[in-house]
């Protein structure tokens, strides 16, 4: 498992003072105001950067990183991903889960293992779990609290309720 957690993507430069405009990939944008250190991916290697300032924009944020004081120096950051270390990730409210915790979790329903979470889709209505069954079939289940009996991110076990929107055809 990675030691880093993706929180944003750098989409453009912002102003002439070295700020970069970022798009959050987090449901909790308030985390950006408490950032002091971030990691930016350069060809698979994470480099540490000090955050000097954060500005909230309409649907995005602008970050000012130490030693990036003009457009010229900030250009090389455009298009890159921003991470935080796993142990510095934002503490989630109750009944909220990190996607990276869900991926790889075993899924049970009525004491029977139905598969492993492979992905989480985010269509407009609600999130959908993509589960790979033991026979390698893809099962899609709406990821709504009404369908979840229990989730243990440390053990990576997700238990669905009996009426979880998944019905075995057998």
What is the secondary structure of the chain as a DSSP string? --SEEEEEEEEEEETTTTEEEEEE-SS-GGGGGG-SEEEEEETTEEEEEEEEEEEE-SSSEEEEETT--SHHHHGGGTT-EEEEEGGGSPPPPTT---HHHHTT-EEEETTEEEEEEEEEE--SS--EEEEE-TTS-EEEEE--GGGEEEEETTTTEEEE-TTSS-----
pTM for the structure as a whole: 0.57
How high is the pLDDT of residue 92? 62
Residue 47 placed within a domain: yes
80 shares a domain with 109 = no
Number of separate domains in the chain = 2
120 shares a domain with 80 = no
In DSSP terms, 160 is beta-bridged to 109, 148
The string of pLDDT tens digits covering residues 32-57 is 888 899 999 998 899 999 999 999 98
Domain interval for residue 135: 99-160
Burial classification of residue 33, based on how many CB atoms lie within 10 Å of its CB (0-12 exposed, 13-18 middle, 19 or more buried): exposed
116 shares a domain with 67 = no
82 shares a domain with 53 = yes
Rounded to an integer, what distance in angstroms lies between the CA atom of residue 64 and that of residue 20? 7
52 shares a domain with 104 = no
109 shares a domain with 81 = no
81 shares a domain with 34 = yes
The string of pLDDT tens digits covering residues 100-159 is 778 899 999 888 999 999 988 877 778 888 999 989 999 988 888 888 888 888 899 999
37 shares a domain with 80 = yes
């Amino acid at each position: 498992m990675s030691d880093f957690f993706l929180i944003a993507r750098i989409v453009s430069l912002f102003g002439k003072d070295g700020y970069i405009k970022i798009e959050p990939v987090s449901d909790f944008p308030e985390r950006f105001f408490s950032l002091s250190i971030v990691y930016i991916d350069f060809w698979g290697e994470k480099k540490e950067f000090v955050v000097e300032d954060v500005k909230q924009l309409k649907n995005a944020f602008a970050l000012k990183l130490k030693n990036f004081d003009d457009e010229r120096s900030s250009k090389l950051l455009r298009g890159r991903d921003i991470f935080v270390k796993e142990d510095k990730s934002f503490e989630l409210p109750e009944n909220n889960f990190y996607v990276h915790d869900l991926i790889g979790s075993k899924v049970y329903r009525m004491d029977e293992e139905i598969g492993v979470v492979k992905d989480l889709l985010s269509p407009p209505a609600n999130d959908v779990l993509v589960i790979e069954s033991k026979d390698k079939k893809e099962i899609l289940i709406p990821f709504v609290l009404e369908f979840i009996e229990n989730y243990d991110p440390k053990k990576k076990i997700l238990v669905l309720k009996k009426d979880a929107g998944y019905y075995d055809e057998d």
